[in-house]
Structures are given as structure tokens and as C-alpha cells.
């Protein structure tokens, strides 16, 4: 066991260094260059530090591993493996700028390294630099013609920039290398269909059927696609072909059920689904899959019918409860049946009944964190406060290492305006999170800041203290995730309302808008900061954008702020028009002040709620 661990470390250290025989000579030269850079003692120290970093990384101790990677880089600043690992770290914490910088340095050290290039391509792709990503993936595909992964990467990149012909060509290359693939067939189908090449789109399914003539899955899939494209008669013919091979296939029954439902024979449709679900030879997992698909299809159909009829009543599907009862009777100890039943009840807004079904699932598997999360969520939505408290207590006993019960305690306290209790529970959430869950920690530390802000509004006597705690919590949140959008926006907006640290507020709001350029709320924050700085031209520019991005349904705040900006630019009539629009809407922050603005035809500066 110990020996295998050593082998793993060696592989990690020289990952992607040993790739193909053709690369061996060049790799040997790289190692010689490394040896030439470092004295023997330094080389040994570098190896020890890097091996230790790799061990900690494997164990999940990311922070200590990262510190050691940095130390290894101090010893050898040109080490490709270290540069790449540091890039991986920054990518994991979503610091894309640094991740890209280190990845580019790693690739510069070894332009033909498979993993360095894949890492760089991944960063480019996730930074919406698709053209750059494509060039990287092309290079990898050229250097490693035996690997299909670069072609997958290329297909996804081409798809993101709507280069559909190139995307299909990449998918064809994958099929040529790896053989016919059902998932790729589906993706290829939708792309070709989008291009209007319907006949060519179905050729992929025909190839699957030709390759697997006795597996009716692909005939069923083809029939389903024909159904979704309005080719009803063709779909029935495809299903009939499948029935000749395997007439008792439960998935075929479900597909035929959809066909009969679409063609108006609902009785036949329901009969086929029920036959599949009560089939004693069918395993419970398959039954759950079948019932899931049946419910999705039925919900979509009923919702569409109600939409057309402008019927706003809750959705009901006849016979579903009886189906659940039959399946549960046959498989009473399978918790996923009750989970699915609960999901269905939640979908039709029957949360109290959803709670009952999740309770059955939790009782069958009390150590399943996901079940407790669903149970608490349903009880919370149903407004069942007593049971939320009770279930949190039980969850703490059954999943003691989980943050989930503390999270719901915190949300319940927030809902009841018990902000100090909420803060205490959010702190417990943070304490229960794993070290690597940095983004989640940032989220809940941000929630602590939000709770302190609510205290500042309610307790004006101590508002200064509570706002100090608000900003401290936000600062702590940003240490874990410097790009926490909600925290950055709230932090910037509160500072702007207080008219202090406006340069800091502007920098934070700029980050938010860069990441979310289409959000009216974030654009409004940015505009308001410029307003507070007296830069009315830029304020108007971003408020214009906020109104355009609000899809003709702006909030009262957006209208009022726009009026404020126009008034300060001397456009009195236009400003009054926007103030009047805002006054007729719900959600006005301070109706009395807005009325005074309209009556006096002047901008009136207001203090934040907490001052």
C-alpha cells in the first residue's frame, strides 16, 4: 500500500511528462534543463516540497498544499508541474485571471504538454475566450491524434459560439475515433435539426440501430425524437419495429403511452404505464425512472393545456396517487419512491403532503443528508414552523457533521426577524463546512452580514455598531470568495447610501457589473455610486442600461433613481415624469420623500434606513 502511494506521487509529479514514445527525447531534455537550473541540493529540496504538496492535495488539504506549491515555485520558478498545479488551485477558487496567468506560463514552458494545454483551454473556455480555447484544443488534437478528448473540447467550444458546422465535424471525428455514441448522437441530432437538416439528423439514430439491431433502446429514442418533431405516424412505425423485437419492454410501453396520449387515447396511455409499474419482473429503479418520465410528460401536457385555456388553478393529474400507492405497496422499503412522490406533490404546490412523503423516506434512510434537506425545505415552504424546529433537532442527531440543520435554523430565524439567532446559526453552518467549501463559506458569511444589516435598520440606536459588523462579515466573506457577487453588490450599495468609501464601492460594483453585465439591479448600484460621486453623466449611462435590461418591467427604484439623475442634470420635466411613474408602483423605498420630490420639483437627499 505504501509503495503504491509512492508510485502515485511520482506520477503526479511528472504528470503529463511521459506521454508518447515520440515525446520521450524532448522530455529527457526538459529534465536535463531542470537539473541544469538547480543544484543537486536544491533539486532534492524541490522534490521534497513538491511531493509533500501533492500528498496534501490528494488528502484534500488544499490551503496547505497551495502554500507548499508556492514554496516549490520559489525554488524553481520555471517548473511546469508547479505552475500548472497553482493554476488548478486558482481555477478551483474561481480566480480566473491568476489561473490563466499560471496556465499560460506552464504552457510556455512546455507547449506540447497535454495536461497543461487542457488546463489552459478549460480556463479560456470558462472565461468566454472561446477563440483562444479553440486554438489550444486544435493544437492538442494535432499533437495527440490518438486522443478523442480534444475533439470533445472543440465540439463544445464551437457549440458555444454557434459554429454549428464545425461542431458537427468535431462530433463526426469523435464518432470516427470512438465509434457510435448515443449521447453524441443526441447532441448531433439537435444541432443538425437546428440547421434544418432533419433527414441528416436522423441518420445518427439509424447508425445506432444498425450497430445494435437487437437493442430496442435506440429505436425507442428515434421514435421519441420523431414524436417531439411532430412526425407522429413515423414514430408509431418505429415503435412497431421495436415491438417486433421486444414486445414486453416496459420502456417501449411508456413510449407508446406518450403516443396514445398525444393521439387522444388517454385510457390506453394510462393502462400501459400502469402495466409497466406493476410488472413484478421489473426492478424498482426502472419503475422509478418510468414513473419520473411519465410525471414530467403529464405535467408538461396539463400545464400547456391550462396555459392555452388561461386556467390558473393548481395542476392535477388524474390517477397519479393510485399509481404511487401501487408502486409503494410492491416496494414499501424503497425510499426513492417516497422522494419522487414528494417531488411531484411539491410541483403541484401540495407542500404539506410532500412533507409526509419525505418523512417516510427519511425514516427509511435517516442518515441521508439529501433527504433531510428535502424534508426541511418542504416543511419550510409549507410554513410548518413547529416541524422545521423538530426536524432540525432530529437531523442534528442523525447527520451530526452536516451544516443542513443549522442552515434551516438560520433561515427560520431570519424569517421570524430573530437576527441574532440567525447569525448564531449561520456561524454554525460555517463551522460545519469542509475547508475546501470556500464559496459556500463565503455565501453564509455574506448572510451573516445581511442579518447584521437588518439589525442596523431595526436598532437605530446601535446602528453604527451593527453596520461595522455588517462590513466585517462582508470582508470575511470576500476573503473566501473575492468574486461573491451578492456580497460585493450589497457592500457597494450600502457604502454608496452612506456616501463613504465611494472609490472602494465603485471598484466592487465594477467587478459585479463585469461578471453580470445584464443585471438591472447591479447596473443600478453602479449608476448610484457614480451619482453619489457627482458623476451624473456616467450615472445616466449605466441607469439607461439598467432600464434597457429590465425588459420593460423596471422596479420603482430604477425609475426613481433615473429621475434623481435627470433632476441633477437639470432635466426637470423628464425627472418629474420618471418620479411619477415610480410613485404609481409597488416597492417605493420612501414614498413620503418621493412625494416631496414631486411636489417641490427638487431632488431631496435621504439618509439610509439605519442612520
Question: Rounded to an integer, what distance in angstroms lies between the CA atom of residue 379 and that of residue 395?
Answer: 13
Question: Rounded to an integer, what distance in angstroms lies between the CA atom of residue 359 and that of residue 374?
Answer: 10
pLDDT value at position 17?
37
What mean pLDDT do residues 409-432 have? Answer: 97
Cell triple for 67 = 502554500
pLDDT band at 432 (very low <50, low <70, confident <90, very high): very high
What mean pLDDT do residues 526-538 have? Answer: 96
Strand (E) or helix (H) holding 533: none
Q: How far is CA 205 from CA 104, 184, 289, 526, in A?
A: 41, 10, 22, 51
Kindly report the average pLDDT of the chain as a whole number.
Answer: 87
pLDDT value at position 490?
96
Residues in the chain, total: 611
Cell triple for 273 = 404505464
Evaluate if residue 3 carries a pLDDT over 70.
Answer: no
Evaluate if residue 23 carries a pLDDT over 90.
Answer: no
pLDDT value at position 153?
87
pLDDT value at position 169?
85
Residue 546, Cβ density class (10 Å: 0-12 exposed, 13-18 middle, ≥19 buried) = buried
DSSP structure string for 186-219: HHHHHHHHHTT-HHHHHHHHHHHHHHSTT-THHH
pLDDT value at position 20?
42
pLDDT value at position 30?
46
pLDDT value at position 7?
32
pLDDT band at 28 (very low <50, low <70, confident <90, very high): very low
pLDDT value at position 171?
82
Alpha helices in 14-61 (DSSP H): 21-37, 40-59
**When comparing pLDDT for 60 and 160, which is higher?**
160
pLDDT band at 503 (very low <50, low <70, confident <90, very high): very high
Half-sphere exposure of 14 (CA within 13 A, CB side): 13
Contact call for residues 256 and 249 (beta carbons, < 8 A): no
Question: Rounded to an integer, what distance in angstroms lies between the CA atom of residue 102 and that of residue 124?
Answer: 12
Contact call for residues 252 and 235 (beta carbons, < 8 A): no
Q: pLDDT of 110-133, one tens digit each?
A: 888 999 999 999 999 888 898 999
Phi and psi, residue 483, nearest 5°? -110, 25
Contact call for residues 504 and 488 (beta carbons, < 8 A): no
Contact call for residues 116 and 84 (beta carbons, < 8 A): yes
- If you ran DSSP here, which 8-state letter would residue 462 be given? G
Q: pLDDT of 351-400, one tens digit each?
A: 999 999 999 999 999 999 999 999 999 999 999 999 999 999 999 999 99
Q: pLDDT of 221-254, one tens digit each?
A: 889 888 988 899 999 999 999 999 999 888 898 8
What mean pLDDT do residues 478-482 have? Answer: 96
Contact call for residues 157 and 130 (beta carbons, < 8 A): yes
Half-sphere exposure of 252 (CA within 13 A, CB side): 19
The answer to whether the Cα torsion of 445, 450, 451, 455 is positive or negative is positive
Phi and psi, residue 485, nearest 5°? -65, -45
Question: Rounded to an integer, what distance in angstroms lies between the CA atom of residue 220 and that of residue 235?
Answer: 9
What mean pLDDT do residues 411-440 have? Answer: 96
Residue (of 235, 241, 239) closest to 253 by Cα position: 239
Evaluate if residue 539 carries a pLDDT over 60.
Answer: yes
pLDDT value at position 78?
81
% of the chain residues with pLDDT over 70: 93
For cell 517548473, the residue is: 79
Tell me which of 12-21, 187-196, 462-471, 569-578 is least confident.
12-21
**When comparing pLDDT for 357 and 11, which is higher?**
357
Question: Rounded to an integer, what distance in angstroms lies between the CA atom of residue 542 and that of residue 521?
Answer: 11
Evaluate if residue 26 carries a pLDDT over 60.
Answer: no
pLDDT value at position 10?
31
pLDDT value at position 35?
53
**Other Cβ atoms closer than 10 A to 493:** 22
What mean pLDDT do residues 558-584 have? Answer: 95
Evaluate if residue 299 carries a pLDDT over 90.
Answer: no
Residue (of 487, 488, 505) closest to 496 by Cα position: 505
pLDDT value at position 18?
35
What mean pLDDT do residues 80-89 have? Answer: 86
Question: Rounded to an integer, what distance in angstroms lies between the CA atom of residue 542 and that of residue 531?
Answer: 10
pLDDT value at position 297?
81
pLDDT value at position 262?
87
Contact call for residues 78 and 109 (beta carbons, < 8 A): yes
Tell me which of 12-26, 96-110, 369-383 is least confident.
12-26
pLDDT value at position 494?
96
pLDDT value at position 37?
63
Strand (E) or helix (H) holding 432: helix 419-432
pLDDT value at position 375?
97
Question: Rounded to an integer, what distance in angstroms lies between the CA atom of residue 552 and that of residue 412?
Answer: 35
Tell me which of 61-75, 105-119, 479-493 is least confident.
61-75
Report the b/e string of 445-461 with b at 16+ CB within 10 A.
bbbbbbbbbbbbeeeee
Q: How far is CA 191 from CA 134, 165, 187, 209, in A?
A: 19, 9, 6, 20
pLDDT band at 180 (very low <50, low <70, confident <90, very high): low
Distance from CA of residue 408 to its chain's centroid?
Answer: 21
Strand (E) or helix (H) holding 243: helix 232-245
Evaluate if residue 607 carries a pLDDT over 90.
Answer: no
pLDDT value at position 34?
54
Amino acid at each position: 500500500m505504501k509503495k503504491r502511494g509512492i508510485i502515485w506521487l511520482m506520477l503526479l509529479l511528472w504528470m503529463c511528462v511521459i506521454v508518447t514514445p515520440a515525446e520521450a527525447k524532448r522530455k529527457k531534455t526538459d529534465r536535463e534543463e531542470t537539473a541544469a537550473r538547480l543544484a543537486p541540493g536544491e533539486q532534492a529540496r524541490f522534490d521534497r516540497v513538491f511531493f509533500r504538496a501533492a500528498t496534501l492535495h490528494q488528502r484534500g488539504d488544499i490551503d496547505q498544499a497551495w502554500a507548499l506549491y508556492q514554496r516549490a515555485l520559489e525554488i524553481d520558478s520555471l517548473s511546469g508541474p508547479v505552475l500548472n498545479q497553482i493554476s488548478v488551485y486558482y481555477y478551483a477558487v474561481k480566480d480566473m485571471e491568476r489561473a490563466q496567468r499560471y496556465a499560460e506560463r506552464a504552457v510556455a514552458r512546455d507547449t506540447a504538454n497535454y495536461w497543461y494545454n487542457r488546463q489552459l483551454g478549460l480556463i479560456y473556455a470558462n472565461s468566454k475566450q472561446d477563440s483562444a480555447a479553440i486554438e489550444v484544443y486544435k493544437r492538442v488534437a494535432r499533437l495527440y491524434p490518438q486522443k478523442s478528448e480534444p475533439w470533445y473540447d472543440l465540439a463544445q467550444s464551437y457549440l458555444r459560439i454557434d459554429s454549428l458546422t464545425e461542431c458537427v465535424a468535431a462530433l463526426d471525428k469523435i464518432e470516427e475515433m470512438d465509434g457510435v455514441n448515443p449521447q453524441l448522437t443526441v447532441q448531433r441530432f439537435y444541432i443538425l435539426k437546428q440547421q434544418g437538416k432533419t433527414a441528416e439528423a436522423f441518420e445518427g439514430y439509424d447508425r445506432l440501430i444498425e450497430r445494435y439491431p437487437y437493442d430496442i433502446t435506440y429505436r425507442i429514442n428515434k421514435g421519441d425524437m420523431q414524436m417531439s418533431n411532430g412526425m407522429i405516424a413515423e414514430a408509431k412505425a418505429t415503435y412497431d419495429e421495436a415491438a417486433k423485437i421486444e414486445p414486453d419492454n416496459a420502456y417501449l410501453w411508456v413510449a407508446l403511452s406518450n403516443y396514445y396520449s398525444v393521439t387522444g387515447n388517454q385510457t390506453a396511455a394510462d393502462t400501459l404505464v400502469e402495466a409497466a409499474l406493476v410488472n413484478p419482473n421489473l426492478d424498482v429503479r426502472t419503475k422509478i425512472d418510468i414513473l419520473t418520465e411519465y410525471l414530467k410528460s403529464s405535467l408538461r401536457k396539463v400545464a400547456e393545456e391550462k396555459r392555452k385555456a388561461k386556467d390558473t388553478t393548481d395542476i392535477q393529474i388524474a390517477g397519479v396517487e393510485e399509481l404511487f400507492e401501487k408502486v409503494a405497496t410492491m416496494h414499501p422499503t424503497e425510499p426513492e419512491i417516497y422522494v419522487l412522490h414528494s417531488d411531484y406533490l411539491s410541483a403541484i404546490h401540495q407542500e404539506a403532503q410532500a412533507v409526509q412523503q419525505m418523512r417516510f423516506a427519511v425514516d427509511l434512510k435517516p442518515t441521508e443528508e439529501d433527504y433531510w434537506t428535502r424534508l426541511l425545505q418542504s416543511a419550510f415552504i409549507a410554513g410548518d414552523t413547529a416541524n422545521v424546529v423538530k426536524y432540525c433537532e432530529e437531523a442534528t442527531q442523525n447527520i451530526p457533521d452536516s451544516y443542513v440543520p443549522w442552515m434551516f435554523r438560520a433561515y427560520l430565524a431570519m424569517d421570524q426577524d430573530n437576527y441574532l439567532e440567525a447569525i448564531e446559526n449561520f456561524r454554525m453552518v460555517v463551522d460545519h463546512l469542509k475547508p475546501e467549501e470556500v464559496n459556500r463559506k463565503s455565501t453564509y458569511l455574506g448572510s451573516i452580514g445581511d442579518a447584521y444589516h437588518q439589525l442596523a435598520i431595526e436598532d437605530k440606536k446601535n446602528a453604527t455598531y451593527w453596520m461595522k459588523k455588517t462590513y466585517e462579515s462582508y470582508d470575511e466573506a470576500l476573503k473566501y470568495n473575492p468574486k461573491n457577487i451578492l456580497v460585493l453588490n450589497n457592500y457597494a450599495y450600502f457604502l454608496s447610501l452612506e456616501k463613504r468609501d465611494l472609490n472602494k464601492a465603485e471598484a466592487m460594483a465594477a467587478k459585479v457589473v463585469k461578471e453580470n453585465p445584464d443585471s438591472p439591479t447591479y447596473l443600478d448600484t453602479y449608476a448610484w455610486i457614480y451619482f453619489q460621486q457627482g458623476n451624473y453623466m456616467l450615472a445616466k449611462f449605466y441607469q439607461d442600461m439598467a432600464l434597457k435590461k429590465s425588459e420593460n418591467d423596471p422596479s420603482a427604484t430604477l425609475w426613481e433613481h433615473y429621475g434623481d439623475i435627470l433632476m441633477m442634470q437639470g432635466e426637470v420635466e423628464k425627472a418629474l415624469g420618471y418620479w411619477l411613474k415610480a410613485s404609481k408602483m409597488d416597492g417605493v423605498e420612501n414614498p413620503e420623500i418621493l412625494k416631496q420630490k414631486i411636489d417641490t420639483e427638487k431632488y431631496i437627499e435621504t439618509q439610509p434606513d439605519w442612520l
